[in-house]
Amino acid sequence: MYKAPITDMKFALRVHRKHSPHLAHSLPDDEMIDVILTEAGKLAGDVIAPLNHSADKAGGAKRHDDATVSTPDGFAAAFAQLAEGGWTSMEADEAFGGQNMPLALSSCVNEMWQASNMAFSLCHLLTQGLISALQHSASDTQKATFLPPMVEGRWTGTMNLTEPQAGTDLAAIKTKAVKTGDHYLISGQKIYITYGEHDMAENIIHLVLARTPDAPEGHKGISVFLVPKYLINEDGSLGARNDVHCVSIEKKLGIKGSPTAVLQYGDNGGAVGYLVGEENQGLAIMFGMMNHARFNVGLQGLALSDRALQQALSYAETRVQGIPLAKDAKSPIIHHPDVMRLLGQMKAESEAMRALMIYGAALLDESEASDDGDSSRADFMIPIIKGWLTEQSQIMTSHNVQIHGGMGFIEETGAAQHYRDARILPIYEGTTAIQSNDLLFRKTIRDEGREAKALIAEITTEAQAQISHDDEAISLLATDLQAKCQEAEDAINSLLARRNDARDIAASGVPYLMMLGTLTGGWHLLRQGVLASSALRQEGADTAFLRNKLASCRLFAALSLPQASSYAQMALRAGQATESLSIEDWLA
């Protein structure tokens, strides 16, 4: 089962409050944070988590002959509890019934939902994304019509980008939108639409990319439309069924409980849609919500990693197999050194991932609240958070299977499900390669490496200040961080020097991203270690938790941070090595 890591969440928020002036005044007080996280943890552990494995075993959502879709047993009732408890309203503006909570706090709650049952919680996550997009880009009338029911949890939302011929290349979309009076008629097909049809809400609001008849070719000719499943009467009640239907539900490797729909628009004249913003501005509006969406996928990587850690730890505490080295009798496998190594690495990295996730959320909060709208650090960190956390989830869920041994390969334990569920994360909302291209070309080359070097300089300064710390774990992590930062700066300078050879540096993009993810994760774990060391001296301290936090610093320095050197070397050499491969010779 799942137990929300509330103590670590509260500690991470405490550290970030210390380093972020914005969070210092935007977060609720400690008592309110404890209430929010505790109540969310109960719902996640007691209601949502028990539905996870059963939905996977049952094969997930089902499409019926009338094109309706039934979600797995218990999903609709659990979503109703989510809405009744006000959890669907945390991030939304108060003007639309929301609580306007900072993302730094709501992301901790979202981690619980995703860790307890990612397939179920995707519905809420996508609705949050649509709420965010509409708050930024919709008209006042659209906001008044669509936002309150979604904030209440009565309606849910989707994103409709992909088509059979248009995945990453959105310029190839063919869905049409023809203006008819005060609306448009939409026709075409969209695929991979998560929760595109289901039975958990009264209405489903689709955010659809399409082209008007006279739109320019390519990306410049894309517009975005709101297409409700049911049309909406002037008094806000639901009207006739719109011309959009579920053709099929995909059979997937993982997240089987979530209905991934193929949606057909316009079989009977056209689905009524409402333009958001202006024609041909759709991609700009969609990219406006991409930071939110990509951040949340990174959050899912953390969530599944922590769920895998909890499951691995529980199994290792009870599974007796052999006599561990230097022991006299058979003991649970947690006492075997290599199992301890795997669990220790999982612990340290999940804590570093959570710290980095909250850091990213705080940056998004700050950029949203700033008078000048400066989002340079947030924009820089989003591809790192999305890329590093989701790639790490592949390793963490694999370690869980490994610790389970043969039982990990058997579906009964659920370890394989986390492994399968995690595999989508480095793919959707932009693959890791797309994140690295964004980080490398848009966020590093375009600004001459200023933001990248500013980040490295900040980490270096904090590491240098802790090298002589009286706690050995902190000193070790700080020393190693400083050395790895120098290697990172060398890699950045090399990428800048090779900027004219785009193919060369593009092959180095993913190692570059992973290098920065490892460094920033270690940096935030160092911050936590410093506070833990200080807190240990206080009366009434949670000594077990704080000592384990310092152990995480030592573990990360020994087992995770060395990877930054490997990534730096790959960033220096991957391009040249890759280009040396002759595809013609290989395929001859």
Residues labelled catalytic:
429
User: Rounded to whole angstroms, what are the CA distances from 202 to 149, 153, 232, 477?
Assistant: 9, 9, 12, 52
Residues 6+ apart with CB under 8 A from 390: 297, 298, 300, 301, 422, 425, 426, 432
3-state secondary structure at position 224: strand
Apex 302 CA angle, 299 and 307, nearest 5: 125
The whole-angstrom separation of Cα 556 and Cα 201 is 43
- Give phi and psi for 228, each to the nearest 5: -80, 145
Q: Are 382 and 295 in contact (CB under 8 A)?
A: yes
- Candidates 1, 35, 9; CA nearest to 358 is 9
- Looking at the DSSP assignment, which residues form a beta bridge with residue 249? 261
Task: Count CA within 13 A, CB hemisphere, residue 17.
Answer: 17
The whole-angstrom separation of Cα 115 and Cα 6 is 13
Residues 6+ apart with CB under 8 A from 418: 304, 307, 308, 311, 397, 400
Q: Give the strand pairing for 155-160 and 203-210.
A: parallel
Residues 6+ apart with CB under 8 A from 454: none
Q: Are 119 and 59 in contact (CB under 8 A)?
A: no
End-to-end CA distance of the chain: 52
User: What's the longest Cα–Cα distance across the chain?
Assistant: 83
Residues 6+ apart with CB under 8 A from 332: 316, 317, 318, 319, 320
Q: Are 189 and 247 in contact (CB under 8 A)?
A: yes
Alpha carbon 362 to its chain centroid, in Å, reads 15
